[in-house]
Amino acid sequence: MNDVAVIGFASSDVSVTTSGVETLVPVFEAALAQAGLERRDVDFWCSGSSDYLAGRAFSFVNAVDAIGAVPPIAESHVEMDAAWALYEAYIKILAGEASTALVYGFGKGTAGELARVLALQLDPYTVAPLWPDAISVGALQARLGIDAGLFSERDMAAVAAARDDASSVETLLDRPYVAMPLREHDVARVADGASAVVLAAADRVGGRRAAWISGIGHRVDPQGFGERDLTAVPSATAAAADAGGLDGVQVTALHAPFTHQELLLRRALGLPDEVRNVAFGSNPMFSAGLSRIGAAAEEVMSGRASAAAAHATAGPLLQQNLVCVLRSES
Amino acid sequence: MRRAAVLGTGQTHHRTRRTDVSMAGLCREAIDRALADAGVGWEQIDAVVLGKAPDLFEGVMMPELFLASALGAAGKPLLRVHTAGSVGGATANVATSLVRAGAHRRVLAVAFEKQSESNAMWALSIQPPFSAPITAGAGGYFAPHIRSYIKKTGAPGHVGALVAVKDRRNGALNPYAHLRQPEITLESVQASTMLWDPVRYDETCPSSDGACAVIIGDQQAAEASERQVAWIRATSMRTEPTFYAGKDHVNPRAGATAAAALWAAAGIKDPLDEVDVAELYVPFSWFEPMWLENVGFVGQGQGWKLVESGETALGGALPINPSGGVLCSNPIGASGLLRFAEAAMQVMGRAGEHQVAGASTALGHAYGGGSQFFSMWVVGRNP
C-alpha cells in the first residue's frame, strides 16, 4: 500500500463569484508553490462544493476553468465538503491510479441565507416543508446537551472565548440569545472561502516538507432527529477508530459549526483537555473541512506537532463526520 | 493492482413519474434487486457511493443525507459524487477505486434521479450573474454540434433516425425501459416533430424517474460469488473546460483521451475487434456515430457508416446500446450507471432478451456537461 502525504496547503477567505474561479486561481498557485509542483505534475484533481450554496445547477463546472484543463485532466467532484474529495483522492493514490493530487473546495456562503438554505438538507417529505432553519435545529441539540448535564452555556461561551482573546466568558454570557440557548458567539460566522491541499504518494514526496496521512475514516449517522441520541456523535467516534485512533495526537482541528458541537466532538473523540485545538473563526461551507486537514498538516509540517488530527462534518447536527490523522513520520 | 468485479446489478422500472415511490423507495427498488442479483446481504456492504446530477432536480440539498438509512449507509462510510451527466459512471469508478485501494471488500454504488419531484428545465435555466446564458434544454445546446458533425462527415440525413429505430426496438426487449416501441419505423421517426434541427422528437431521450445500483467486490468477494461476475478490467475519467480556444464539440479531446487511457489500461489494441458490445451515452440519436469515432471504434468520419451498415444493431459486429440506451430511459443521474450496469449484465450473461450472444468484453460509457466530463469502464467475463 502506498503511503500518502500532504505536501501543500493554501486557503482564502474571499469569494468573488459563486463559480469560485477568481478565488481558486491564486489558491492553486500558492498550494502548488508550497508543494514544489507545477500544474501539469498533478495526476488527479478532485473538488467539493454545493449547487445549493451557489443557487444554481452544475455550479462546479465553471470552477474547472480555474485549472486550465487543456489538455484534458483526470478529475472528479463530490457534492460534499472537500474533506471528502481529499478522501477520494487519497483512495486514488492508495489504489495506484495516481501519484499526486490537488484537492479543492469552495463556497460563497454569503450568497444566500445559509441557515434557511440548509433547511433543504432535511427530509423533503416530513421535515423540510416546515423550513426549520439550521440555527434553530442546532439550538435543539444544545438544549438536549445542557439538559443531559453534558455542558452549560458557560462552557459553550468558554469555547467561543478561547478562539477570540478579546472576549471574556462573562461578557459573552451577557449577550442576548439568537435561538435559546444559543447566542451569537455559539454560531460559527457564515463566510466565503476556498482552500486547496496537495497530496503525493511516498515516491513523489522526495525531500519535501510532508505530513503523512496515517489514517482517514468517515461515517454517516441516520438523519432523523429521533433516530439517534443527538448528544452523542457515533459516526465521529467510529471515524476516529477507522483512522487508526488518535493516540499521540497533540493538536486537533475540529469543524464545529456551533460551540456546543465542539464540546460534543471532544467527548465523541475522547480528546483529553491537554490536546490543543486550532481555532477557526468562521465556517466557510464546503472548504471548511478541507481547511481543517490543511491546518492540521501545517501543524505537523512546521514541527509544532508530531501528530495532528483533523475533523470535518456535514449535514445537520453532526450527521456525517470525517477524521484524518497526520503524522511527521510515514 | 488489486482486482475488482461487479457482483450484481439492479435497476428500477423507469417512468416519467414514479409517484408510487418516494426517493428512498426508488433507490431501494434498485438496491434490493442488485443485492439479490449479487447474492449479497446488507450486512456485507462496507460502504455506499451515491451519484446523482444537480440537487435542484429534486429540490433537496445533498439528498444522500436524508436517504442515509434507506441506502443502508447509516453507520457506514457514504460518499456523494456529482460529475454532471457522467456521474453514474463516475459513481461506479469511485466505488471501484475504493475496492482497488483495499479500503473495502464490497461497495454499493447507487445512482438515481427523480425528475418528477421538480422541474429539470427550471433547474437548468437559472441565470447566474456574470455568466453566459445556458440555452434552456440540452437539445438546443447539442444540436449545433450534430449539424457540425453532418457537415464535416457528409453523413446522410437518415442516420440519426436509424439509431432511434434501433435503440427504441432494443428498449422494447428491456422490461425496465421507459420507452418501449417495437413498432417504430424509419418513416415514423422521420415523420415526428422537428425539435432542434436535425433532432426530431423520436430521436430525443425522455425525462425519467429511475435508479440503478451495482455491487462491486474485491477478488475474494468475486471468487466467493456463486454466479458469473463482471471483472472490471479498466476505468477511466477525463475532464476539459466547457469552452476553450480550439474546443472540438464534435470530437472532444477529453472523450478521446479517456478512451485511449481506458484501452491502454485494459490492454485492448483494436477496440472494434476486441469489444463485443458497448453501451454509449446517446441522449440524441446522432451521438452514436459521434461517440463511435470519439472513443476510437472507427476512424474520423466513419461512425455513420458503421451505423448505416447495421453493424451496431443486435446481431451486428458491435451492438451498441442493446438496453435501448439513454434514448429509452433517462433518469439523468442514473443514466451513466445504467450504461455501466448493462455492460456488466452483458458479460455476466444476465441481459435477458437483449443479451448479445457470447459477450465477453463490454464498454460502459457516460458523458456530461458541455461534452466535457467523461467516465468509462471495460468489463469482462474474465479478469
Q: E strands along chain A, which residues?
A: 4-12, 44-48, 75-78, 100-108, 177-179, 182-183, 189-190, 192-201, 211-220, 251-253, 276-277, 282-283, 307-314, 320-327
Q: Do B62 and A314 touch (CB under 8 A)?
A: yes
Cβ-based contacts of B80 with chain A (< 8 Å): 78-80, 84
The predicted pLDDT at position B133 comes to: 61
What is the number of other CB atoms lying within 10 angstroms of the CB of residue A128? Answer: 17
Contact yes or no for B1 and A123 at CB 8 A: no
Select the residue of A78, A95, A319 nearest B97 (Cβ to Cβ). Answer: A95
For an interface test with A, which of B78, B124, B244, B295 has the most A Cβ atoms less than 10 Å from its Cβ?
B78
CA distance A277 to B67: 33
H or E element at residue B210: strand B209-218
Could you tell me which residues are beta bridge partners of residue A308? Answer: A251, A326
A12 contacts A27 by C-beta, under 8 angstroms:
yes
| Rounded-to-integer distance, Cα B285 and Cα B308, Å | 13
Cβ of B74 within 8 Å of Cβ of A84? The answer is: no
Any residues with CB less than 8 A from the CB of A302 and at least 6 apart, and which?
Answer: none
- B22/A125 Cβ within 8 A: yes
Given a contact cutoff of 8 angstroms between Cβ atoms, the answer to whether A9 and A195 are in contact is yes
Positions in chain B short of pLDDT 50 = none
Q: Determine whether the interchain pair A72/B258 forms a contact, defined as Cβ–Cβ distance below 8 Å.
A: yes
What pLDDT, on the 0 to 100 scale, is given for residue B128?
A: 63
The Cα B288–Cα B282 span in angstroms is 6
Residue ranges in A64-102 assigned as alpha helix (H): 82-94
C-alpha cell at B103: 479500503
Cell of B85: 451527466
Cβ contacts (< 8 Å) between B51 and chain A: which residues? none
Closest CA to B64 of A257, A52, A289, A220: A220
Select from B1, B66, B90 the Cβ nearest to the Cβ of A123: B66
pLDDT of residue B308: 98
pLDDT at B134: 56
Task: Identify any residues that bridge with B241 across adjacent strands, giving them in sequence order.
Answer: none
Q: Are strands A177-179 and A182-183 parallel, antiparallel or unpaired?
A: antiparallel
Q: Is B124 an 8 Å CB contact of chain A? A: yes
pLDDT reported for residue A110 = 92
B258 contacts on A by Cβ (under 8 Å): 72
Q: Which residue among B23, B81, B124 sits closest to A78, beta carbon to beta carbon?
A: B81
Of B77, B100, B372, the CB nearest to A219: B77
Pairing label, strands B106-114, B230-239: unpaired
E strand or H helix at B308, and its extent?
A: helix B303-308
Instruction: Compare CB distances from B123 to A57, A62, A78 and report the shortest one's residue.
Output: A57
For residue B383, is the peptide bond before it cis, meaning its omega torsion is within 30 degrees of 0? no
Residue linked to cell 418513416: B187
Q: Enter the C-alpha cell of residue B64.
A: 444522500
> Which pLDDT tens digit goes with each residue over A320-329?
999 999 999 9
B269 touches chain A (CB under 8 A): no
> For B92-127, how does the pLDDT look when each residue is reduced to its tens digit (9 = 90+)?
999 999 999 999 999 999 999 999 998 776 777 666
Q: Given CA atoms A249, A251, A256, A258 in this order, what sign does their dihedral have?
A: positive
* Number of inter-chain CB pairs under 8 A, A vs B: 195
Residue of B nearest to A74 (CA): B238
CB-CB under 8 Å, A76 with B94: yes
SS3 B7: strand
Band of pLDDT at residue A167, cut at 50, 70 and 90: confident
Look at residue B132 in the predicted model and tell me its pLDDT: 63
Q: Which H or E element spans position B266?
A: helix B253-266
Grid cell for residue B136:
434552456
Minimal Cβ distance to B240: which of A51, A56, A69: A69
Of A56, A88, A315, Cβ closest to residue B126: A56
> Which of chain A's residues have a Cβ under 8 Å away from the Cβ of B2?
95
Contacts of B63 in chain A (CB under 8 A): 124
Predicted complex: ipTM over 0.95:
yes
**CB B74 to CB A222 under 8 A?**
yes
8 A C-beta contact, residue B312 and residue B282: no
Q: Which one, of B214, B176, B221, B177, lies nearest residue B9 by Cα?
A: B214
Answer whether A50 sits within 8 Å of B69, measured CB to CB.
Answer: no
* Mean of pLDDT values over A209-234: 96
- Using the beta-carbon criterion (under 8 Å), do B80 and A1 form an inter-chain contact? no
> How distant is the Cα of B248 from the closest Cα of chain A, in angstroms?
12
Q: Is B6 helix (H, G, I), strand (E, B) or coil?
A: strand
Q: What is the pLDDT of residues B280-316, one digit of tens each?
A: 999 999 999 999 999 999 999 999 999 999 999 999 9
Min Cα separation B136/chain A (Å): 12
Cell of B365: 460509457
Name the grid cell of B204: 430525443
Distance from the Cα of residue A175 to its chain's centroid: 28
Least CA distance to A233: which residue of chain B?
A: B75
Mean of the pLDDT values across residues A266-285? 94
Q: In this structure, are strands A100-108 and A75-78 parallel, antiparallel, or unpaired?
A: unpaired
SS3 B203: helix
Phi, psi of B74 (to 5 degrees): -55, 125
The pTM score is: 0.98
Q: Which of residues 30-69 of B touch A (CB under 8 A)?
A: 53-63, 65-66, 68-69
* Angle of CA points A1, A199, B247, to nearest 5°: 115
